[in-house]
Structure 1
């Protein structure tokens, strides 16, 4: 059942967010349509603007550009889905879940909960945004089972810590610009060069505010925890101890044991599924390739190598081929909206570039921007676009074609301009519930109260990232 089809439960007056937060909750939950529907509306808007104003905005050009853009982005869409799926498979591994339970056992107070959740989820999200989403949701559930904390506050804290993902190693904008031949490597298409991660993710103007957001928001969330009499605690509606439902569904060893079948009488298919030999073979291939490539070309990360690393890590942690396959199947349940939206965003990109609309907008940016102000203008415009296009790759497909030409024309910093877009996504995602959907689904909580807390994260991180773009070299 779609979360939008579920009736909204009444909210007690003592629990209801007030003021600006109440307005935001109302807009997101009752007015804003599903992101897929919103992307269709954006396609219509861009099509109309292109026909009316673009240099080559005839209807046949719009149609042809939309078609080519829709299918040119499919490779990138699969890469983004694999990043989520491989991250999920790592967090789903039994050893990782045991680690999460051990961490949760160390928590006795809300303050300790924040001090554990924020750094762990932030590091996980910085490494892989899919991993961060799942770790945050599962860790929040485990802690809430043991300690009386406001569950919405805790889930919102993990989601706030996750917000740094677009400044990390799985940032689709940073990775696409570092990947030779990537469909969305707009820098390479314009200049023939790629932008290494040392100039984006690891640059001081990105890394410093990322750390600062985690530290500051940890302190603010500790301060924001409701009084004990106002706490809405977690109610476990699932039986069993596995928060993801993974053990009963996917552990082949458990299935074999429960069936009473001895290893000697297993069929060939069952032995092959449960044998670690297939995993070892794939690990040897993957590790061998990485060792060979890094030895000959030096250490580098792009989208494909990032996916490969997390694929190998998940295989190693899940141990057997069937366990890993089952983990990926569970991860696939979270990817439906992405499968729908990425082709639509590709179509928008095709219209903007094919009709000349993107270049026209770039000239407008050049007219009002300077080399110093363009990254900040890119950041501010990205704040708005993210609310409409809440997926990094799709967002970049729309904004990149006019931001980067403006940077090249003005001789502004290309990495700073591109990462201004990415950092704004970190900020606006705190008001955009799209990426919170898998979090609240895994955690088992309604989204309204969560977004009330993350609105505070939006305001604080907005200031921190803007100041970093402007002040840090």
Structure 2
């Protein structure tokens, strides 16, 4: 395995797939728009009136506005924290630990996966900056591409099993759920999803296996391609604050306002965590985002530095902002528009899956389905809005554990991320690489993860019993 990974047939195949995707695949918004068209045509084929389909499209378009903003702030909060001066100093210290190039790749993978359990946006930026810091070490012969792929493992392997899981957060927050989905699933707290012991077992196995694969596939010192060979200058420094040019800017450069805000925020957070169980408090997506935004402001210390970081973070949220309204429309079309038989499209899809699935095959069937769909609709929260109406209805009819059904989605939906360039964009911007530079390595992870994840979903699912939906 010490040979350059580009010489393996798996990597060559992955690179061909990446080249094909980059050449022929449109922007992910186009896939979402196509899904709207396909679902609309399906409702009309069922006998629905065009006026009803149009009404559902318009009504659903704005149904996810709270969740859309919440997901955008997940990205912004993670980016702001990861790019703060204390975080950059921590990264420099972490970069001193590995002793050789292959262990450095595994180290990046570990840090990325741990960070992703807190915030997937944090994982991408923090991991990318760690790779650059390691690349600056003259005593370390590390493959820059392999390390970049390792920095992506947080999002590609385990992020959806952590606190920023879009599906788990959505199901734990009834105010963010569309009423049509809430009626099927009820509220599913973190204790029934990411905090199940079965989820912990899956997480531990995936982390260990990912580390082994990252280390084993990292090229040795003789064949490693460093940052300079990739055409990247790994030097990095935080953007310097521009000098004050007018008296009105003095508050932008003073920490006074941030100190006062953080004190107020600390009081609110203390009240939240002292009056509620810790799991319940952190399950609130607003609380979660509030914590990261205030932490980011504190770490940047001065409003000007904080605002500059937010300015750099906002462009990474464009996919969320422009696509999620379409997912809301799709959910409305599927769950509210009735055909000539007075049934919805979601009902027909759930009936189909119920006819071919059993309690024993549910995990495998839904896992494969979620993984395949995830390649075309790379949006954890948005795609859950599409899938939940029929996936969870099938779980109810088969009396399958609803929380584990969410985890099946979480674990399987992350698989195509390993070869889908959509979520790589923030990381690629930090690294100065292209998707094809990473996919040769991440594809090997996909080959290992796919059978392992499907087996774990099936095996661990057999240990759980059905609990009826809990309505708020």
Equivalent residue, structure 2, for 1:199: 192
Measure the CA separation in 1 of the matches of 2:136 and 2:179. 44
Instruction: Write the distance in 1 (CA, Å) between the matches of 2:216 and 2:380.
Output: 31
SS of 2:386 mapped into structure 1 = helix
Determine if the alignment matches structure 1 residue 97 to structure 2 residue 88. yes
Q: Which moved more, 1:168-177 or 1:319-328?
A: 319-328
C-alpha displacement at 1:73, in angstroms? 1.2
Relative distance call for 1:281 and 1:37 in structure 2 (3 A) is same
- Asked if 2 retains the 8 angstrom alpha-carbon contact of 1:375 and 1:469, the reply is yes
Q: 1:229 to 1:31 in 2, by over 3 A?
A: farther
Name the residue aligned to 1:406. 394
1:123 equivalent among 103, 114, 119:
114
Q: Tell whether the 8 Å contact from 1:178 to 1:185 is kept in structure 2 after alignment.
A: no
Equivalent pairs, count: 443
Equivalent residue, structure 2, for 1:65 = 56
- For residue 231 of structure 1, report the CA deviation from its aligned partner: 2.6
Decide which of 392, 395, 399 is 2:383's aligned counterpart. 395
Q: Tell me which residue corresponds to 1:169.
A: 163
CA drift of 1:16 comes to 9.3
1:468 maps to 2:456? yes
Corresponding residue of 2:45: 52
SS at match of 1:207: helix
**Quick one: distance in 2 between partners of 1:400 and 1:363?**
14
Match 2:100 to one of 105, 109, 120: 109
The counterpart of 2:21, out of the listed 28, 39, 42, is: 28
Q: Does 1:271 align with 2:250?
A: yes
- What residue number does 1:154 align with? 147
Moved more, 141-150 or 410-419: 141-150
Deviation of residue 351 (structure 1)? Answer: 1.4
Alignment partner, residue 341 of structure 2: none
Tell me what 1:284 maps to. 263
Distance change >3 Å, CA 216–CA 43, structure 1 → 2: same
Q: Per-residue deviation at 1:156?
A: 0.7
Inter-partner Cα distance in structure 1 for 2:253 and 2:221: 48
Offset of residue 237 of structure 1: 4.8
Structure-2 residue corresponding to 1:7: none
Q: Does 1:311 pair with 2:290?
A: no
Looking at structure 1, the residues matched to 438 and 103 of structure 2 have their Cα atoms a distance apart, in angstroms, of: 19
Output the TM-score relative to the length of structure 1.
0.88
Q: 1:208 to 1:186 in 2, by over 3 A?
A: farther
| 1:230-288 residue CA offsets vs partner (Å, 9 max, x unmatched) | 3322036559631xxx423xx3xxx33xx6x8xxxx72x32211222211222122222
Q: Does 1:183 align with 2:177?
A: yes
Cα offset, 1:229, TM superposition:
4.3
Counterparts of 2:126 and 2:179, CA distance in 1: 30
- TM-score normalised by length of structure 2: 0.88
Match of 2:236 among 241, 253, 257: 241
- CA separation in 2, counterparts of 1:321 and 1:184? 36
Aligned to 2:34: 41
- 1:335 maps to 2:344: no
Q: Which residue of 1 aligns with 2:303?
A: 321
**Structure 1 position 131, deviation (Å):** 0.4
Question: Within 2, Cα distance between the matches of 1:162 and 1:333?
Answer: 19
Q: 2:332 aligns with which of 335, 350, 354?
A: 350
Classify 1:27/1:239 alpha carbon distance in 2 versus 1 (closer, same or farther; 3 Å): closer
Alpha-carbon deviation of 1:403? 0.8
Q: What displacement does 1:415 show? A: 0.5
1:427 corresponds to 2:406: no
Match of 2:274 in 1: 295
The secondary structure found in structure 2 opposite 1:230 is coil
Deviation at 1:167, TM superposition (A): 0.9
Q: Any idea what SS the aligned residue of 1:465 has?
A: helix
Structure 2: segments with no counterpart, 5+ residues: 1-5, 338-343, 464-472
Q: CA deviation at 1:185?
A: 7.6
Q: Which moved more, 1:225-234 or 1:25-34?
A: 225-234
- Match for residue 439 of structure 1? 427
Could you list the per-position Cα deviations for residues 366-397 of structure 1 after superposition, in whole angstroms to 9, with x for gaps in the alignment? 22222333233221210111011101111111
Decide whether the 8 Å contact of 1:176 with 1:184 is kept in 2: no
Q: 1:309 to 1:18 in 2, by over 3 A?
A: closer
How has the CA–CA distance of structure 1 residues 135 and 157 changed in structure 2, closer, same or farther, with 3 Å as cutoff?
Answer: same
Does structure 2 retain, via aligned residues, the 8 Å contact 1:86–1:311? yes
Deviation at residue 424 of structure 1 after TM alignment: 0.8
Structure 2 CA distance, aligned partners of 1:73 and 1:334? 19
Query: Does the 8 Å CA contact 2:105/2:142 hold for their aligned counterparts?
Result: no
CA contact (8 A) 2:63 2:178 kept: no
Contact 2:39 2:330 (8 Å CA) reproduced: yes
Q: Which moved more, 1:101-110 or 1:58-67?
A: 101-110
Residues 120 and 333 (structure 1), Cα distance of their counterparts in 2 relative to 1, 3 Å cut? same
Residues 16, 439 of structure 1: alpha-carbon distance in 2 compared, 3 angstrom cutoff: farther
1:367 to 349, 355, 360: 355
Pair 1:223 & 2:216 matched: yes
